[in-house]
Amino acid sequence: MARAGAAIVTWNSEGQLGPCLEALRRHGVRQIVVVDNASRDGTVEEARRFGASQLIVNPWNRGFAGALNQAIEIIESPLVLVINPDCELLGGLDALEQACAQPSVAATGGKLLDGLGRPQVGFMVRRFPTPAALALEVLGINRLWWANPVNRRYRCLDLDPEQPGEVEQPAGAFLMVRRQVWRELGGFAECFHPLWFEDVDWLLRAARAGYRIRYEPRAVARHRGAGSISKLGWEERQWYWYDSLFRFAGRHFRPLEYRILLAVAEVGFALRGAGGIRQAGGAALRVYGRIMRLAAKEFMLAARKRGHWR
């Protein structure tokens, strides 16, 4: 019987949640807490039908971090498996628990497989973002030149997915955390709303506090990916991702690095806006114009304060 409890945050996850819950039950997880962020489909009914131990239905979208904090708060086990509703646990939960229970370990990630059974290298484990990695991201260079040296290091494209070891940033889609460390660090930062970078922020804070983070390939889950994100509109995805990226950079980069990233982002937005017209028409002008205004505002604030933002 598994010792860990499981925390699942849902938002319009009907059709994905059932297999996730069934797999957790099959592998002996007794306490499964589902927190729903005001879904508009049949997600809540799905959670009840497939036997979530506890179900919290938020009347509004509290964001991934806020809902995850709700779930972890009521889980009784010292270990919590954070798992997305589009993930199906295939095995190795005991190995994940053993790795996470080691002294000074804050979290342990497992191996994620795509629909064809291939490890999701580039996603399931990454190194912490650097100013250079995020600059290439906002400029779109990583999409054009995937294997460039900076992106190769950031996305751990040199990773052997069959070897366990210490890592920096396992994916929050399939991540076991210790409640003691979660509480010590003040939980997941809810300023990352509604999603993106909250797991990276928490893991970086854990690492800076002296905790270790591990990867255990014997723990395996099938990950369909982008389950809830696909329900967002294109403009929403763009805005949420860049807004959270700026929050992360402002919290963790040096002031000069942050201002340089903002300046680079302005160039990237101008290029993306021009290219995005073909893809999204006037929506590209609206969203990139909005993001450029945010970047300019934060650049001026950061320059005056010479410190981190938000």
For 84, the token pair is: 């997305």
- Counting the structural domains of the chain, the total is 2
Instruction: Give the C-alpha distances (Å, rounded to integers) separating 196 from 7, 27, 53, 91.
Output: 17, 28, 27, 27
Query: Which of residues 205, 223, 241 is at a domain's end?
Result: 223
Q: What is the pTM of this model?
A: 0.93
Q: Is 166 inside a domain boundary?
A: yes
Q: Same domain, yes or no, for 91 and 23? A: yes
Q: Same domain, yes or no, for 178 and 254? A: no
For 85, the token pair is: 């509703």
If you ran DSSP here, which 8-state letter would residue 172 be given? T
Residue range of the domain that includes 271:
231-305
As a whole number, mean pLDDT of residues 203-232 equals 92
Per-residue confidence band for 307, with pLDDT thresholds at 50, 70 and 90: very low
Query: Which of residues 223, 242, 271 is at a domain's end?
Result: 223
Judged against a pLDDT cut of 80, whether residue 301 lies above it is answered with no
List pLDDT tens digits, range 84-107. Answer: 999 999 999 999 999 999 999 999
Q: What is the C-alpha separation between 55 and 45, in angstroms, rounded? A: 10
**What is the pLDDT, as a whole number, of residue 309?**
46
Q: Same domain, yes or no, for 207 and 261? A: no
Q: Same domain, yes or no, for 217 and 235? A: no
Q: Is 171 inside a domain boundary?
A: yes
Q: Same domain, yes or no, for 192 and 293? A: no
pLDDT-above-70 percentage for the chain: 93
As a whole number, mean pLDDT of residues 110-128 equals 97
Q: Same domain, yes or no, for 79 and 102? A: yes
List pLDDT tens digits, range 22-78. Answer: 999 999 999 999 999 999 999 999 999 998 999 999 999 999 999 999 999 999 999
Per-residue confidence band for 229, with pLDDT thresholds at 50, 70 and 90: confident
Q: Is 34 inside a domain boundary?
A: yes
Q: Same domain, yes or no, for 280 and 186? A: no
Q: What is the C-alpha separation between 173 and 125, in angstroms, rounded? A: 11
